[in-house]
Amino acid sequence: MPFDRWIVKEETMTNTPAGVPGRKVLPETADEALLDRPYRSIADVEAIEEVPLEHRLGVVDFCKRISLALASRDADDVAISYVHDGDVDRAPDEVTFASFRQNIARTATLLRSRGLGPDDVVAVLLPAVPQIYWALLGSMANSIAFPINWMLEAPALLHLLKEAEVKSVIALGPTPGFRIWESLMSVIDALPPGLPVFSVAGPGGTVLDNDLDAQLASLSDDELEAETPKSGDVTAVYVHSGGTTGMPKIVKLSHRNMSYRHWTLQLASSLKLGEVILHDTPMFHVGGLIGRCLSPLASGASVLIPSIMGARDKRYMSNYWKFVDKYGVTRLSGVPTTLAVLAKTPTEGVNLTSLAPYFITGSTALPVSVRAEFERVSGVRVLNSYGMTENTASIAIDPRDGPRKDGSSGIRLPYTQIRVVPLDGKADDSSPSDTAAVGMLQIRGPGVASGYVNAAHAAASRTEDGWLITGDLGRIDEDGYVFVTGRAKDVIIRGGHNIDPALIEEPLLKLPAVLHAAAVGKPDSYAGELPVAYVQLVPGSSATPESLMAYLKDCIVERAALPKSITIVDMLPLTDVGKPLKTELRRRSAEEEFRSVLSDIFEGSAEPGMLEVKALNSANLGIAISIAVEGVPKEEQPEVDRRIAQVMGHYPHPYAIEWR
């Protein structure tokens, strides 16, 4: 089938959206004239880069950026509105900017009084509660903050606490529906004795003697010390990502990394003073931490926390648009899976005029039909993005005022460089690259982290000339748009949750009955991908998918990583060196998915035809779907074409139809 028939569309922006009126920026950390200029193409990026970054960035101490932003707001204005259960009619708990600033300063003083200094690490295990902000920012002001996935099982939690050599922990206390405190207490004896631990009482939870709020209230303003200025190279936070051993890797992000990312996100979305943002994504993920929460805060935004569970709360999701209306939200939040739900949520009777004209999403591919429907419902332009923890989140973002190309993640951010290296590993910056060729994506720039806590994780992470090896495959077209076509690291992205296949594979391979095992992502119209496993048993084994699944339920440290299915095969496809051939397994899982979802397109047809669906590994397009239709009269072909397009619109995969 000719490749010029693959359906890969391009959209042109015809109307430049107006900015949010009546708001200003902080002159110390933003250039208002630059934010008000059109941002349309790689030419605009290059024009920005004519001025050295140090002349634009100004403040490199991220704590100072936050301090300037909070001080710019009226002391009695509401900084944080908190509803713990997604009930839009519930009166919120409110924190003023004066109290917010005081709590940050007191948290820093409290940690200092316990002997913590600038090189010490404070672990924060909190869901979406107001205290997470002063826990993180107070830790950053005095030490190094380390937000940890509070859903991890105890062994994975202990691994992170020990590897980071934490000197204090701030965690949710005993609270119905959560086991954060219980997990922490189950490993506390394995940590250094006398480790300062502070608790935060959740909804209906127990207030303990080490309650953080009580400790802060006991401090007087006379005890507070002036904030110590920090150089850009000082580590601000540790953020963990998935690792190749099944345990997360801890990445060190500096104040300059965080300040640069704030500057680029202001530019990419024209963030202004006085916005209202939604906090419904976890802050242990770099996208939630710096992308959706701290950057807007550093631009002087107020925060709405609509549920302690964030987007996992079904009541909140059903009330999403009502929250936007009631609190005057200006920036939406959500990964593609969330947007798919919201696109189907009615907006009748709510006022959405407070919304800014665009917002940024990412983490996995966004189906074209979902984007179109969401934009129709919300009136907001969705900007796709590409990022990674090791680059302090964003690498490329759709230009807010320019065209978007379906399947791409936009253009590189200013001062961030991206190159495509042929798969033979030979990079040559002096020669022009083939814009159609797929290779390994490598990056460099001020967002790249200084490294990992565990130096062993840095092995083979950079090239000899200093570029960061992303582990992603992709291409850059003639207009500078970045297309990510696959992941050399084989990470599975389930609704924005990065899942290391080793979390599934390693437990399976420990079983005497298992000879080979491989986990891959299977396309899913809602989550983007779902983890599935393929297993080859040793001869004579009687293991079944059911017995293997029961075993994994006791082994997987992340619930989201539990595979949706386990398939036992006679022979697992292997590479020449005996490793599972995951490109073939991903192709198989995609073929299975699309054969299933397209199986009833002839329902109700007078003359049902025959359908042949194949998934193909394309060098330039990733997995592409070939659909051959036979026996359908010409007059019925438009209706069948429409039905196929309706189904395929829920997936990012290119496809082609052949009529026989």
Query: What CATH number is given to the structural domain containing 511?
Result: 3.30.300.30
Q: Is 277 within 8 Å of 409 (Cβ atoms)?
A: no
Mark 29-65 as b/e (b = at least 16 C-beta within 10 Å).
bbbeebbeeebbbbebbeebeeeeeeebbbbbbbbbb
Contacts of 258 (CB under 8 A, 6+ apart): 62, 236, 237, 290, 294, 392
Among residues of the chain, what percentage have pLDDT more than 70?
A: 90
pLDDT tens digits, residue range 533-582?
999 998 888 999 999 999 999 888 778 889 999 999 999 998 655 678 88
pLDDT at position 559: 82
pLDDT tens digits, residue range 340-374?
778 888 899 999 999 999 999 876 666 677 788 89
Which among 93, 60, 94, 61 is positioned nearest to 77, based on CA atoms? 94
Residue in the structure block whose two tokens are 């009330």? 319
C-alpha to C-alpha distance for 107 and 213, rounded to whole angstroms: 9
pLDDT at position 460: 78
Residue in the structure block whose two tokens are 């850059």? 476
Q: Which of 128-137, 145-154, 482-491 has the highest mean pLDDT?
A: 128-137
Q: Are residues 509 and 654 in the same domain?
A: no
C-alpha to C-alpha distance for 586 and 574, rounded to whole angstroms: 13
Q: Are residues 104 and 221 in the same domain?
A: yes
**Does the residue 603 lie in any domain?**
yes
Among residues of the chain, what percentage have pLDDT more than 90?
A: 65
Which among 459, 657, 585 is positioned nearest to 6, based on CA atoms? 657
**Does the residue 590 lie in any domain?**
no
Q: Are residues 605 and 567 in the same domain?
A: no
Q: Are residues 66 and 132 in the same domain?
A: yes
Q: How many domains does the chain have?
A: 3
Mean pLDDT of the chain: 88
Instruction: Give pTM, 2 decimals.
Output: 0.80
Domain that holds residue 332: 28-405
pLDDT at position 19: 36
**Does the residue 475 lie in any domain?**
no
And the tokens for 307? 């549920």
In which band, very low, low, confident or very high, does the pLDDT at 1 lie, cut at 50, 70 and 90? very low
Q: Are residues 624 and 512 in the same domain?
A: no
Check whether 435 has a pLDDT greater than 70: no
Q: Are residues 120 and 56 in the same domain?
A: yes
C-alpha to C-alpha distance for 624 and 523, rounded to whole angstroms: 12
Q: Is 141 within 8 Å of 109 (Cβ atoms)?
A: no
The CATH number linked to 214 is 3.40.50.12780
Q: What is the mean pLDDT of residues 168-178?
A: 98
Check whether 6 has a pLDDT greater than 80: no
| Residue bearing the bigger pLDDT, 367 or 75 | 75
Q: Which of 18-27, 410-419, 420-429, 469-478 has the highest mean pLDDT?
A: 410-419
Check whether 288 has a pLDDT greater than 50: yes
**Does the residue 195 lie in any domain?**
yes
Q: Is 305 within 8 Å of 129 (Cβ atoms)?
A: yes
Q: Is 650 within 8 Å of 644 (Cβ atoms)?
A: no
Q: Are residues 179 and 267 in the same domain?
A: yes
And the tokens for 187? 């490993």
Q: Is 629 within 8 Å of 658 (Cβ atoms)?
A: yes
Chain centroid to CA 616: how far? Answer: 28
Q: What is the mean pLDDT of residues 45-56?
A: 96
Q: Are residues 511 and 628 in the same domain?
A: no
pLDDT at position 316: 96
pLDDT tens digits, residue range 525-534?
888 899 999 9
**Does the residue 342 lie in any domain?**
yes
- Picking from 405, 421, 447, the residue at the C-terminal end of a domain is 405
**Does the residue 174 lie in any domain?**
yes
pLDDT at position 631: 87
Interaxial angle between packed helices 180-187 and 154-163, expressed in degrees from 0 to 180 and rounded to the nearest 10: 60
Q: Are residues 204 and 99 in the same domain?
A: yes
- Picking from 530, 549, 578, the residue at the C-terminal end of a domain is 578
Q: Are residues 151 and 235 in the same domain?
A: yes
- Picking from 578, 606, 637, the residue at the C-terminal end of a domain is 578
Q: According to DSSP H, which parts of 154-278 are helical?
A: 154-163, 180-187, 212-217, 255-269
**Does the residue 429 lie in any domain?**
no
Check whether 605 has a pLDDT greater than 80: no
C-alpha to C-alpha distance for 342 and 355, rounded to whole angstroms: 15
C-alpha to C-alpha distance for 223 and 229, rounded to whole angstroms: 18
DSSP at 462: B
Which range among 302-316, 493-507, 560-574, 589-603 shows the weakest confidence by mean pLDDT?
493-507
pLDDT at position 604: 67
Check whether 155 has a pLDDT greater than 70: yes
**Does the residue 437 lie in any domain?**
no
Q: Are residues 298 and 359 in the same domain?
A: yes
Q: Are residues 520 and 611 in the same domain?
A: no
pLDDT at position 14: 36
